[in-house]
A and B are shown apart, each in its own frame.
Chain A
Amino acid sequence: MDSTTLAAVGGNVATIGYGLGTLGPGIGLGILIGKALEGIARQPEVAGQLRTTMFIGVAFVEVLALLGLVTGFLFTS
């Protein structure tokens, strides 16, 4: 029984890792910034404070995506 190869995929599976790694932080950033906007729209007088807190949160979420980028470089076999 001969099987014919019609298509082959080469490369390293690790390369899709970063794509997966961005999913969670992407959703997280969406929720985080959306909620901050909601808060600002409700109470524009605390906009500055909310924005600062939002940026701190953004930094925490964003670092997860960046860890995905870094591990892509670290664990090349």
Chain B
Amino acid sequence: MGAFRCEDGLGFPRRPGPSRCRGAAEDRHAHEPRGATLSTVATILPLAASGEGNGFHAPSIAEFFPDAIWFAGTPFEINRIVMVRLLTAAVLVVVMVVAARRAKVVPSRGQNIIELGLDFVRVNIAEEILGHNAKRFVAMLTTIFFSILVFNLTGVVPLLNISSTALIGMPIVLAGWVYLMYLWSGVSKFGVGGYLKNSLFPPGLPWFLYILVTPIEALQVFLFRPATLALRLTANMISGHLILVLCFSATQFFLFEAGGALKAASVLSLGAGVAFTLFEVLVAALQAYIFTLLSAAYLNMAVEEEH
């Protein structure tokens, strides 16, 4: 992973030139383990690569492990993605604090937009799912929703170009929060035994089915719920980023390195890049919504009364 240089002007990490100067024909035979995953894309496109330039660089997972900028080698090492994270967190906090300070009875336009979001989380997520239990969890769900939304959206902001939730760390923190929260609120409401009975022994089954159902439910509650929460968010953001990188690096390749009529294909790939950028905005909002919705659903499963 250390072998990758930082990035070009657009913020896309690029591979170092000379070491990867292989033509299309070579690329199909000599595979490096690291590049193998997405190399099929590379084998389709460079058929027209007429030897000059660097050939087409397919994006790989190494995009998400850029070189460190500061404090390299220490646990506090800061690379581009961590920088984006810190920046985004600062912006989010400042915007929210300023909006809260300036809140008036007759809202300004900015306050309106933020209140729209707050209202959406409270009414459409918390109260819809949790009902009368909603009030306790609104603050938590709102925090989760807004941080995920903003951290996702950095993926389409020019110059930042990476969503900080595309590394598993951030989603793990958020999913871990939800995990501890639903366990804690379930246990504090029903006691340890009551909570385990509620969540591991769904009522209304014949006793022998519990041999099958209880282990599955235990895996669900203690492993799959937090794991899938984190994984869903990360995988969505990884795939979104890779699609964007693919579109834009293909555009660069077609425009500057491919010969003749293939230059026209750059229009197509650029159009696809723009379309996918808009699609990523949708995905960012949708993933924030789904993460928050599922958190609310899990909290509700933990605290709701017997049916």
Contact = CB atoms under 8 A, between A and B. Distances in A.
Interface of A: 8, 10-12, 14-15, 48-49, 52, 55-56, 58-60, 62-63, 66-67, 69-70, 72-73, 76-77
Interface stretch (B35-43, B93-101, B137-145, B194-202): B35-43
A29 to B, nearest CB: 13
Interface size class of B (residues with CB under 8 A): 20 to 34
Contacts of A8: 28
Interface in B212-244: 228, 231-232, 234-236, 238-239
Given A56-B293, A69-B238, A69-B239, A15 B37 contact: yes
B293 A10 contact: no
16 contacts: A10-B28, A11-B39, A11-B40, A15-B37, A52-B124, A55-B289, A56-B294, A56-B297, A59-B232, A59-B294, A62-B232, A66-B239, A67-B235, A69-B239, A72-B37, A76-B37
B102 interface: no
Top 6 nearest A-B pairs (CB, nearest first) are A66-B235, A10-B28, A12-B36, A15-B40, A59-B290, A63-B228
Contact of A12 (B31, B129, B232): B31
B61 interface: yes
Contacts of B293: 52, 55-56, 59
Nearest to B36: A12
What DSSP secondary structure best describes chain B's contact surface?
helix
B33 interface: yes
A11 B232 contact: no
B128 interface: yes
Contacts of A52: 124, 128-129, 293
Contacts of A58: 290
Given A59-B290, A59-B294, A70 B235 contact: yes
A49 B37 contact: no
Interface string B35-59: 0111110010000000000000000
B44 to A, nearest CB: 10
B231 A10 contact: no
Interface string B113-156: 00000000000100011000000000000000000000000000
B128 A11 contact: no
